[in-house]
Structure 1
Amino acid sequence: MKTIIILIVALFVVWLGYGMLKNNETTTSGADVTTPTTKVPNQNTNTVTLTPSAPSVETMSTTATSNSTALVTGQVKPNGAGTSYWYEYGETSALGTRTTSQQIGSGYKFIPTPAYITGLKANTLYYFRLSGSNRFATTNGATHTFQTNTNPPPQGSAPTTRTTSATTISRTTANINGTVNPNNSATTYWFEYGTDTEFGNLTAFQQIGSGNSQISASVSLSDLAPLTKYYFRLNAQNGYGTVNGPILSFTTTGPSNPGQPTADTTSAKNVTSTSATFTGVINPNGAQVTYWFEYSEDSLLGQLIGSGTPEQTVSAGTKNVTVQTDINLIPKKKYYYRLVAKNQYGAVRGDIVSFTTNK
């Protein structure tokens, strides 16, 4: 009998995982409904305007039962407003008892909504339905039934989830992070994020198996707005329920619009009779920069020595970056040099700095 219970639970979890992946496939093709705005491009490059509304709710008839428990599931689409879901159940169609509410954000994708109902009577027929609610209305799904039996309940619990700080934050990108413990049941995780605590955006569903240890979860976000505060949280789900991690935030860097870099020539270092290190400071101002040093024995740099030092690059960013280049020179000569930096928005030259090589 124990083998039968394990088989039922395994089949239920496989069905749940397949439903998540299938839902993710169908909602990421065609119209993209997880962008921060309510205007969504379709396959014909037209624009569809999505208006927030009451959630869409579908109760699934598939269940896995024991003598005192039932695994039930369905799916809910929040339709643009922060939404919670729960199940109502009872021994008659009047129902009468409900599970704890779970939060699923405000996106425009259907999200699987499992729940693990406990405290049931053996060999009893129960009615149940899924409900979802947001600020617009509460929507009730269809009512189905399940029958408990004499089998002992399966062993397992909902996952443990923790949201951790965002990293590698730039003008338009960031990595959001967290940890999940599946607690011995096949588990899927995803992140929600947006410019307020209703989020509105979902990352892809990721499966992490059924172990019993903390697993790192991380997703790279792109196409973010500069100088904007974003809220995010990690969610995890298995056959025993959905768990929301704490809400954290980060702010993307500036400038609002990238521009030409700044370049500041600084004093030469490590000066010997035959070499020196040219130094300077660059701020890329949001776009990748190419830089080099021009140098000459002419104080106005009217006659450069060659074409200057080899070109090097600094990645896009908004912080000052110290750069330097080693160069071979002639003894007892006075040299003049300056830093040159350019990106797609323009080129700039730093002030001219001088030094004299040793004897």
Structure 2
Amino acid sequence: MAIDTTTNVTDTRATLNGRVNAQGEATNYAFQYGTTTDYGQQTRLVALPADAGERAVTTELDGLVPGTDYNVRVIASNASGTEVSANATFRTTGTAPAPTPRPSVTTGSAVASLSTATLTGTVNPQGRETVYYFEFGETANYGQQTAPQNAGSGATNVSVQAALSGLRTDATYNYRLVAVGPNGSIATGENRTFTTGGSASTMLSFFGHTSFTDQNGVGGVFLGCFGAVQCRGGMTLERSGKLLGERKAYTIRANNGGIVHITLNDLGKRLLRQRGAMNVRTTVLNENGQRVTGTTKLIRYSTNGLKG
């Protein structure tokens, strides 16, 4: 993997040419570039087929700053990992503009679950229109980035964040905040890491075999969440294959327990009004795909009976 040449260089544009070998695996590649070896900007990811041959790759850069030295490299990722080429440099033609204040950034903390994460940070645009994004990946070479967002043009710190999804479970990710001001002025925050949870790290469990409802059909099921990450998902109550109630989403903190509330539908209310208590099939889902199913006895704790 290498950068071969930089051609068609003008004041604001350049063509990058390189080589990537997918080593027989489906691979994505991109070019990273910037005025320092922190790079800070990346072209869109392009997919390569899973063959073992070396392929020529190219991209067009636009919006560059005249009379400025740029660093560039190729980055490629597949199931085996992420690799980067050696650094190469080129200089745009023309006269460099007068220096402008660079934005300042601080990479903040991350909150991760099994396959998602929310990244935070602060950006100070230093009085000039600025955009920001987060770079992230399973190595400090990153390889992926969030969509650019506008941080405004103020002169004070702005709190920013971005949501990630589709992450691998049981994986450690590197990330940093990047801000881009006028004329391509770039500021990068410090590298930080977070670790996603794993399917084996959290377990759902029923507390007992009794669920309950009040006279209006509003009740709950006692659940426990044991492990390193919180439990999030949905829950249904059924009898003889018919849905009696459903909870679309719930959250229980890690190593905690509580009542997941659920409201019976009209059929559930009618059956419970007739019976006073009945066995129901309770199914609880965790966001990692874990499914817990059991029979609980649904009882009515009000002596007034169901109304309506």
TM-score for the superposition, normalised by structure 2:
0.58
Q: Does 1:245 align with 2:182?
A: no
Spell out, residue by residue over 1:84-109, the C-alpha distance to the aligned partner (whole angstroms, 9 max, x if none): 754xxxxxxxxxxxxxx341269554
Greater mean deviation of Cα atoms: 215-224 or 279-288: 279-288
CA contact (8 A) 1:83 1:106 kept: yes
Are residues 286 and 144 of structure 1, via their aligned partners in 2, closer, same or farther at CA, if it must alter by over 3 Å? Answer: same
Superposed displacement of residue 266, structure 1: 6.1
Map of 2:109 onto structure 1: 165
Are residues 57 and 213 of structure 1, via their aligned partners in 2, closer, same or farther at CA, if it must alter by over 3 Å? Answer: farther
Q: Does 1:130 align with 2:70?
A: yes
Map of 1:211 onto structure 2: 154
Map of 1:349 onto structure 2: 294
Map of 1:280 onto structure 2: 222
Map of 2:176 onto structure 1: 233
Q: Does 1:144 align with 2:93?
A: yes
Map of 1:313 onto structure 2: 248
Within 2, Cα distance between the matches of 1:218 and 1:358? 50
Q: Does 1:202 align with 2:137?
A: no
Choose which of 236, 246, 261 in structure 2 pairs with 1:291. 236
The aligned runs of 1:64-83 (5 Å cut-off) are none
Tell me the percent identity: 18
Within 2, Cα distance between the matches of 1:141 and 1:177? 33
CA contact (8 A) 1:275 1:357 kept: no
Within 1, Cα distance between the matches of 2:17 and 2:125? 24
Are residues 185 and 55 of structure 1, via their aligned partners in 2, closer, same or farther at CA, if it must alter by over 3 Å? Answer: farther
Within 1, Cα distance between the matches of 2:14 and 2:117? 32
CA contact (8 A) 1:263 1:350 kept: no
Superposed displacement of residue 145, structure 1: 3.9
Within 1, Cα distance between the matches of 2:17 and 2:138? 20
Spell out, residue by residue over 1:129-182, the C-alpha distance to the aligned partner (whole angstroms, 9 max, x if none): 43436864342325634389xxxx57x400011111123x33222222222111
Spell out, residue by residue over 1:175-202, the C-alpha distance to the aligned partner (whole angstroms, 9 max, x if none): 2222211112222222110011110112
Within 2, Cα distance between the matches of 1:234 and 1:147? 26
Map of 1:104 onto structure 2: 39
Match for 1:340: what amino acid?
Answer: T
Match for 1:204: what amino acid?
Answer: A
Map of 1:36 onto structure 2: none
Aligned length: 253
Within 2, Cα distance between the matches of 1:196 and 1:224? 14
Superposed displacement of residue 113, structure 1: 8.3
SS state at 1:146 partner: coil
Superposed displacement of residue 286, structure 1: 7.4
Superposed displacement of residue 242, structure 1: 1.1
Superposed displacement of residue 317, structure 1: 8.1
Spell out, residue by residue over 1:15-71, the C-alpha distance to the aligned partner (whole angstroms, 9 max, x if none): xxxxxxxxxxxxxxxxxxxxxxxxxxxxxxxxxxxxx43387575415xxxxxxxxx
Match for 2:70: what amino acid?
Answer: L
TM-score for the superposition, normalised by structure 1:
0.51
Are residues 269 and 222 of structure 1, via their aligned partners in 2, closer, same or farther at CA, if it must alter by over 3 Å? Answer: closer
Within 1, Cα distance between the matches of 2:71 and 2:179? 20
Within 2, Cα distance between the matches of 1:222 and 1:147? 40
Within 2, Cα distance between the matches of 1:242 and 1:267? 59
Are residues 113 and 179 of structure 1, via their aligned partners in 2, closer, same or farther at CA, if it must alter by over 3 Å? Answer: farther
Within 1, Cα distance between the matches of 2:104 and 2:15? 21
Are residues 241 and 348 of structure 1, via their aligned partners in 2, closer, same or farther at CA, if it must alter by over 3 Å? Answer: same
Largest Rg, 1 or 2: 1
Give ranges in structure 2 of 5+ residues lacking alignment. 21-28, 45-58, 75-83
Give ranges in structure 1 of 5+ residues lacking alignment. 1-51, 63-72, 87-100, 117-126, 295-303
Match for 1:223: what amino acid?
Answer: G
Higher strand residue share: 2
CA contact (8 A) 1:178 1:218 kept: yes
CA contact (8 A) 1:157 1:240 kept: no
Superposed displacement of residue 114, structure 1: 6.0
Greater mean deviation of Cα atoms: 157-166 or 127-136: 127-136
CA contact (8 A) 2:131 2:149 kept: yes
Superposed displacement of residue 265, structure 1: 3.1
SS state at 2:166 partner: coil
Superposed displacement of residue 230, structure 1: 1.2
Within 2, Cα distance between the matches of 1:147 and 1:354? 77
Superposed displacement of residue 231, structure 1: 1.2
